[in-house]
């Protein structure tokens, strides 16, 4: 059971049809990731993004949202063929209410759309749907939204076209928020069972991102890019440590898994700049059941193959291919991704979103959505709810809620000593309510110079926030996005 998860979405009814690839007008991008894969002989058979077109000619819908006020739905498309999401259309449609993402359309033309994940053999019913506004971002300078997966959230398609089965080769990449993760099972994107059950070793092949250590793991404390191959998350050839699979937590992270007959690889890099690195490239795991593979060809996002849904993460774009892509093809795709200049809008004034605790992989949270002045803040699984939505104002305040219930992040009683509680309080313009965002990711009090700190570098839900002497460690690093 996962406390404080968002309200469960209802099952979609009726056919949901994505748009197909069509010729775009002059001025469209010269190529997208799926054009590059096609040129390399490994075409996309699924292409999902809520931020941009993944083909230069695509001019259909990216995703669909449903608003809470009347349950009406609207498809969100592009500003132009081959371009970027029309976030203004979503903002207009969802104004004055909340929205969830109901469909993530497949741009490949194969109809491999992702919708609400049904119940599986893991405990719990159908998954929740993601808040449509919990993961704001920019791509090529244009506002867009990612898919914010809080625990209990997930998408799936068990009836696909063209996805690899058996031991057939495939590749996949995803652009993820490298600071939003946990040790739950399992934040995945990729190939899974068509019955939402655990059908045994080798029946999955998906990208996993997080820091669970029950099965394989990499160096450092995580998170790691690994492969979920069912009944095992693998960082290399065995179910233990692969020191060559490093902790990788770029704010925007490119994650790649690819596999074929007795051969698979893990690659990754910074989705904002630089090249890909290879973290494993070799034979299938030395555990029975993974050679040959028995892939079934469903697609999952945010959950495990049996619908294990305790994980969290944020997804911006990803594809699956037919055939095993070459490193050279993937390197060209990475160059395309970095050219998009993914960004958070920075920590500029007026930015609104979740304040992520980088070290814990959780969010700064007002306990139980309290509006009582003096409530001490904590960290909790990111949910996209109002009690985790912070706005940085032009005067350096951090506010939560709005209207008559608006409160400010406050250094309790104007105290300036290490260990000072961080609470909510009515906004008054005092220096104990003014905060500086620093280049190393810390957030410091203008009054005392102390840093916003997760007490004791703990990572558990309910850990309290306080002020402490700045040390630059991960429990003092925050990301407002």
pLDDT tens column, 40-62: 999 999 999 999 999 999 999 99
Please give the Cα distance from 150 to 148 (Å, whole number). Answer: 6
Is 154 in the same domain as 187? yes
Which of 309, 338, 367 finishes a domain? 338
Please give the Cα distance from 375 to 362 (Å, whole number). Answer: 18
Catalytic residue among 127, 188, 228, 306: 306
Catalytic residue among 35, 230, 330, 466: 230
DSSP-assigned beta bridge partners for residue 318 = 48, 174
Number of domains within the chain: 2
Q: Any idea what DSSP says for residue 42?
A: -
- The lowest-confidence range among 202-206, 298-302, 353-357 is 353-357
The closest of 122, 7, 107, 111 to 66, measured between CA atoms, is: 7
CATH code, 459: 2.80.10.50
Does residue 16 surpass a pLDDT of 70? no
Residue 186: cis peptide before it, omega within 30 degrees of 0: yes
pLDDT of 345 reads: 53
CATH code, 155: 2.60.120.200
Which of 338, 364, 386 finishes a domain? 338
Name the helix (H) or strand (E) containing 47.
strand 44-49
Is 218 in the same domain as 317? yes
pLDDT of 463 reads: 95
Strands 142-145 and 233-234: unpaired
pLDDT of 29 reads: 54
Which of 314, 338, 362 finishes a domain? 338
pLDDT band at 467 (very low <50, low <70, confident <90, very high): very high
Q: Half-sphere exposure of residue 102, counting CA atoms within 13 Å on the CB side? A: 25
DSSP-assigned beta bridge partners for residue 294 = none
Residues in the chain: 481
pLDDT of 286 reads: 95
Is 389 in the same domain as 267? no
For 360-369, the pLDDT digits (tens) are: 878 999 999 9
Is 393 in the same domain as 438? yes
10 assigned to some structural domain: no
- The lowest-confidence range among 170-184, 197-211, 274-288, 378-392 is 378-392
pLDDT of 350 reads: 44
Does the annotation mark 170 as catalytic? no
Is 329 in the same domain as 357? no
Is 406 in the same domain as 465? yes
Is 333 in the same domain as 364? no
Instruction: Tell me what percent of the residues of the chain surpass a pLDDT of 90.
Output: 76
For 404-462, the pLDDT digits (tens) are: 889 999 999 999 999 999 999 999 888 899 898 876 778 988 889 999 999 998 989 99
For 62-93, the pLDDT digits (tens) are: 999 999 999 999 999 999 999 999 999 999 99
**Three-state DSSP state, 431:** helix
Is 373 in the same domain as 333? no
Q: Say what the alpha-carbon torsion angle 116, 1, 383, 83 is, to the nearest 10 degrees.
A: -30
Query: What is the span of the domain harbouring residue 94?
Result: 33-338
Is 367 in the same domain as 287? no
pLDDT band at 17 (very low <50, low <70, confident <90, very high): very low
Is 40 in the same domain as 163? yes
Does the annotation mark 330 as catalytic? no
Span 245-274, average pLDDT: 97
Name the helix (H) or strand (E) containing 39.
helix 33-39
Is 168 in the same domain as 313? yes
pLDDT band at 270 (very low <50, low <70, confident <90, very high): very high
Strands 147-149 and 352-357: unpaired
Q: Any idea what DSSP says for residue 152?
A: T
Does residue 14 surpass a pLDDT of 80? no
313 assigned to some structural domain: yes
């Amino acid at each position: 059971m996962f406390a404080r998860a968002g309200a469960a979405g209802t099952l979609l009814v009726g056919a949901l049809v994505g748009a197909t690839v069509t010729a775009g007008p002059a001025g469209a991008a010269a190529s997208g990731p799926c054009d590059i894969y096609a040129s390399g002989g490994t075409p996309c058979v699924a292409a999902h993004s809520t931020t941009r077109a993944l083909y230069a000619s695509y001019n259909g819908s990216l995703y669909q949202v449903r608003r809470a006020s009347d349950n009406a739905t609207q498809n969100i498309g592009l500003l132009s063929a081959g371009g970027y999401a029309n976030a203004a259309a979503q903002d207009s449609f969802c104004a004055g209410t909340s929205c969830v993402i109901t469909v993530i359309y497949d741009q490949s033309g194969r109809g491999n759309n992702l919708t609400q994940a049904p119940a599986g053999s893991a405990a719990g019913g159908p998954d929740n749907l993601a808040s449509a506004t919990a993961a704001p971002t920019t791509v090529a300078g244009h506002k867009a939204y990612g898919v914010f997966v809080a625990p209990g959230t997930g998408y799936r398609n068990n009836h696909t076209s063209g996805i690899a089965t058996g031991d057939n080769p495939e590749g996949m990449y995803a652009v993820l928020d490298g600071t939003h993760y946990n040790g739950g099972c399992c934040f995945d994107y990729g190939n899974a069972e068509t019955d939402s059950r655990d059908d045994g070793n080798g029946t999955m092949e998906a990208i996993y991102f997080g820091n669970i250590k029950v099965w394989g793991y990499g160096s450092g404390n995580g998170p790691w890019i690994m492969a979920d191959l069912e009944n095992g998350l693998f960082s290399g050839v065995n179910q233990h440590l692969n020191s060559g699979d490093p902790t990788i937590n770029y704010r925007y992270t490119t994650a790649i898994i690819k596999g074929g007959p007795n051969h698979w690889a893990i690659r990754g890099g910074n989705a904002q700049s630089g090249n890909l690195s290879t973290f494993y490239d070799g034979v299938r795991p030395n555990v029975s059941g993974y050679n040959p593979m028995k892939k079934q060809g469903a697609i999952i996002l945010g959950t495990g193959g049996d619908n294990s849904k305790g994980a969290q993460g944020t997804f911006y774009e990803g594809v699956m291919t037919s055939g095993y892509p070459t490193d050279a093809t993937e390197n060209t795709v990475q160059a395309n991704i970095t050219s998009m200049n993914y960004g958070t809008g920075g920590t500029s004034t007026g930015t609104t979103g979740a304040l992520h605790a980088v070290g814990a992989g959780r969010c700064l949270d007002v306990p139980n959505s309290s509006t009582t002045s003096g409530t001490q803040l904590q960290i909790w699984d990111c949910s996209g709810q109002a009690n985790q939505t912070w706005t940085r104002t032009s005067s350096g305040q951090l506010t939560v809620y709005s209207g008559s219930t608006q409160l400010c992040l406050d250094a309790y009683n104007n105290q300036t000593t290490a260990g000072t509680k961080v609470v909510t309080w009515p906004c008054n313009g005092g220096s104990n309510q003014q905060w500086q965002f620093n280049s190393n990711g810390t957030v410091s009090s203008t009054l005392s110079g102390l840093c916003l700190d997760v007490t004791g570098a703990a990572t558990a839900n309910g850990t309290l926030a306080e002020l402490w002497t700045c040390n630059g460690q991960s429990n003092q690093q925050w990301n407002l996005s």
